[in-house]
Structure 1
Amino acid sequence: MPKIIKFYVHTVDTVCEKVGRFVMYWVFFMMFLLILSFVTRNIINFPLMWIIEMAQFTITAYYLLGGGYSMLADDHVRMDLFYGRLSKKGKAKMDVFTSFFLIFYLILLFFGSITSLIYTIETKQKLFTAWAPYVWPIKTLMLLGILLMLLQAFSTLFKDIANMKDKRI
C-alpha cells in the first residue's frame, strides 16, 4: 500500500480511537443528568425543564461521535447468515463489496447534515419546548460524527483491500 494510504489509515484510526474513548464516558454524564432529574422532580419537587433534553443531546452526541470508534473496533452489528463461515480473504471481499453501500449512505447523510446545519444556523432554529435550546450545537456534533464515520469507512475499506491482497497496512 502507498505511504499516503498508510498515513491516512493511521491518522483516521488514531482520531476515531481518541474521540471514541473520550466520548465513551459521556454515558456517565447522561446517567448523572437522569438521576438529577429524578431527584429534583420526585424528591425535591423542583423539576428542571432543561435536564431531559440535555440528556437526549448527550446520548445523541454519544451515539454519533462513537460511530467511528465502533467501526474501528469492529463492534458494529453485522448480519451473520454466512459471513462467519467465510475465510479471512472472503470476509475482506464481502466487506469491500458492502463498504461501497455504506460509503454511499454516509455521503448522503453527510451532505444532508451540512444542509440541515446551514438551515439551522440561518433560521436560528430552536426546539419547541419550555427550555427552547438552540439546535445548532447538536447538529454540529451530528455533522462531525457522520464525518468521522465516513473517514473511518474509507480507512476500513483500505484495510479490507490490503487483507484481500494478503498485505498489511
Structure 2
Amino acid sequence: MFGMMQGYIRAVDAVNHRVGRVAMYGIFVLMGILLWSSISKTFFLPSLWTLEMAQFVMVAYYILGGPYSIQLGSNVRMDLFYSQWSVRKKAWFDLVTVLCLIFYLCVLLYGAVSSTAYSLGYWGSEPFSYLGGVLIGTEEIGRMERSSTAWRPYLWPIKSIMIVGMFLMLLQCISELFKDVLRLKDNPV
C-alpha cells in the first residue's frame, strides 16, 4: 500500500512539475500582451482583444501554476506556530487542512464542469448528463457561450483550462495527503 502511495506521489509530482514549469512562462506571454496593448493604445487604434486575453492568460498562469506551488510548499501559511512544531504535528495539521482543501476543490471542480458544459451549449441541471447535442425537452442545446465584450471570444477554452488546473490541483492535494500519511507512518516520502 505504501509503495502504491509513493508511486502515485512520484507520478503526480512529475506531471505537476512539468506543467508548472511550462506555466511559469505564461507571465512572459502576459507581459507581451500588455505591452502590445500599451503600444496599440498609444500609437494605433486600440486592440479590442488585449485586455480580455490578458485576463485569460493570467487565469491560466494562476490555475496551472497552483499545483506546482503546492508541491514546492510556496503557498501562504501562518508560520507563527507551524515552524516550531515537530514533523509529526505538522503532518497531522497538514492532513486535516488538505482534507478540507480536497473537499473545496471537489466543489470547485463540479462547478467548473457545470460552467464549461453551459459554455459549450448545455443548459441542463446536471452537467455530467449531456447527451451530445440532443435536444432534451424545451432546452436549447448547442449554442456556444461568448463573452459580452466587443471582442466576443468563446469562453469554453479558458473554462476547460480551469477544469484541467483544478483537476491537477486535486491530484496534487491527494499527493500531499499521501505524503502526510507516509510521514505519520515514518515511511520515506
TM-score, reference length from structure 2: 0.86
- Tell me by how many angstroms 1:84 deviates: 1.7
Q: Separation in 2 of the partners of 1:103 and 1:114?
A: 16
Secondary structure of the corresponding residue to residue 66 of structure 1 = helix
CA distance in 2, matches of 1:9, 1:80: 25
2:169 paired with 1:140: no
SS at match of 2:76: coil
CA distance in 2, matches of 1:51, 1:79: 37
Give 1:85 deviation, angstroms: 1.6
Name the counterpart of 2:88. Answer: 89
What amino acid is the match of 1:69? Y
TM-fit CA distance, 1:57 = 0.4
How far does residue 76 in structure 1 lie from its aligned partner after superposition?
A: 0.6
Gaps spanning 5+ residues in structure 2: where? Answer: 122-142
Structure 2 residue 22 is matched with structure 1 residue 28: no
More helix by share: 1
Q: CA deviation at 1:9?
A: 0.9
Tell me the amino acid that sits aligned with residue 11 of structure 1: A
2:58 maps to which residue?
59
Q: Percent of counterpart pairs with the same letter?
A: 43
1:124: Cα distance to partner?
0.7
Moved over 4 A (4+): none
Report the number of matched residues: 168
> Are positions 1:10 and 2:18 aligned together?
no
| 2:99 alignment counterpart | 100
CA RMSD, aligned part only? 1.0
Partners of 2:5 and 2:87 lie apart in 1 by: 21
In the TM superposition, residue 11 of structure 1 has moved relative to its aligned partner by 0.6
Q: TM-score, normalised by structure 1?
A: 0.96
Cα pair 2:2 2:182 within 8 Å, conserved: no
Larger Rg: 2
